[in-house]
Structure 1
């Protein structure tokens, strides 16, 4: 097998790139796959992508449209070696070393799968491993969702606050006035929200009018995002429904206590 895929070490180069493949005398013809795997075994997992990209760039410099061919070639090298180890007698003297090599190859194969654009065949061990990871991930997500639901239910209630029939707008007027109420000490609003929708949702969820549900869309038109320029789709509270005013009390002194 002539070398065409991987960047080889130059003969007697005493300072080769760490990802070049070959021995001191260079790359012996027919050993390209073995030496690629051999160099891989010397690398930590975090460098797998750098190692692969290094040789891919070299190959594409000669064959610009050859990315799929390069990937397939590397994939087949790894797959053949995995299959070879899996068929070996598990009771031979090199079994421990074989398992270490298999682990390395499986990790590199997992990296290859992550960049696979062509849905290359999967091995049975890989399928089983992926299914196991997916099951673990789903269990973790399920546990998280259950915890979040449990926390959310702490604030849920089947009860509600009832407003006498015909006085919903009076209550909405008080809510709007609360938003305009300024604290005397620091000139900040008594209540503040980023959006008006939070008021609408709160009222629709926790209040009733005459024991009947309050329609969210009905009250939305009384809570414009821009109170100075509410727009045509918003309405104002009729004067006859503005039954209450919110006025600050006189500041208490020590003599009032």
Structure 2
């Protein structure tokens, strides 16, 4: 695969190319695309590394869908090889001094590559194994926590549901509605909740309407947020279903 396939070059005689295109304005030997790639790295700022990389990656993926790992490998190899070359220079003279400056630029880009390495290409095997073991330990701890939560939850689960006589659901809910309004002698409400959610969920979870389950939406329709201004879908309890009335026992 040629560098032309990997990288996005500027067009010949293109006066205003994209900032992250690589190559020369008149003639570019694309066989040496890796040189133009690293040359661009020398010229951009540290904060531009992600934008430059993604610009070139998107070009590559247009012709190589799903091959992000291959592009990463190619770029990583270019950067590490070039760093190794500069570090191998004889520590004297201007080439070595210039190499130190260019190596610093490349190492900044290498740090960026390590931050997006989802394939663990830039980590030693021991580090990858340690990271995986840590993840396994965290998952096992989470599983244990969830098992304990399930165990606690099951303790309060009934073995069966309470059956409301067929067609008796509105009668039962009318009684629940009365209970919600009951007050003690000190004028405190007997039971209280900020919303109706606990009530309709309690009914849907623990009761049957005859031999049929009660959908949570069906139960919810009996409990509008605003009793005085119920929505159209609110189920109104008919007078014929208001068979019982809970009254306070008279004081002796």
In the other structure, the counterpart of 2:154 is 153
- 1:213 and 2:233 are equivalent in the alignment: no
CA apart distance, 1:116: 4.9
Give the gaps of 5 or more residues in structure 2: 1-42, 51-75, 85-109
TM-score under structure 1 length normalisation: 0.52
- For the structure 1 residues 123 and 178, does the alpha-carbon distance in structure 2 shift closer, same or farther, using more than 3 Å as the test? same
Deviates more, 1:123-132 or 1:159-168: 159-168
SS across alignment from 1:129: helix
- For the structure 1 residues 117 and 200, does the alpha-carbon distance in structure 2 shift closer, same or farther, using more than 3 Å as the test? same
TM-score under structure 2 length normalisation: 0.53
- CA-to-aligned-CA distance 1:83-134 (integer Å, 9 cap, x gap): xxxxxxxxxxxxxxxxxxxxxxxxxxxxx98995332711111101101101
Distance 2:190 2:148 in 1: 33
CA apart distance, 1:230: 1.3
In the other structure, the counterpart of 1:136 is 137
In the other structure, the counterpart of 2:200 is 200
- CA-to-aligned-CA distance 1:128-175 (integer Å, 9 cap, x gap): 110110111111111111101100000112212122112111001011
Give the gaps of 5 or more residues in structure 1: 1-62, 81-111, 253-257
Distance 2:136 2:185 in 1: 58
In the other structure, the counterpart of 1:234 is 234
Q: Which runs of 4+ in 1 moved over 4 A?
A: 112-116
Distance 2:222 2:158 in 1: 26
For residue 65 of structure 1, the aligned residue among 34, 38, 45 is 45
- For the structure 1 residues 180 and 113, does the alpha-carbon distance in structure 2 shift closer, same or farther, using more than 3 Å as the test? farther
In the other structure, the counterpart of 1:102 is none
CA apart distance, 1:216: 2.3
Distance 2:112 2:153 in 1: 36
- Structure with bigger helix share is 2
In the other structure, the counterpart of 2:13 is none
- For the structure 1 residues 115 and 225, does the alpha-carbon distance in structure 2 shift closer, same or farther, using more than 3 Å as the test? farther
Number of residues of Structure 1 aligned to a counterpart in Structure 2 = 152
CA apart distance, 1:190: 1.2
- CA-to-aligned-CA distance 1:12-63 (integer Å, 9 cap, x gap): xxxxxxxxxxxxxxxxxxxxxxxxxxxxxxxxxxxxxxxxxxxxxxxxxxx8
- For the structure 1 residues 128 and 196, does the alpha-carbon distance in structure 2 shift closer, same or farther, using more than 3 Å as the test? same
- For the structure 1 residues 115 and 199, does the alpha-carbon distance in structure 2 shift closer, same or farther, using more than 3 Å as the test? farther
CA RMSD of aligned residues (A): 3.0
CA apart distance, 1:222: 1.1
Matches within 5 A, 1:74-93: none
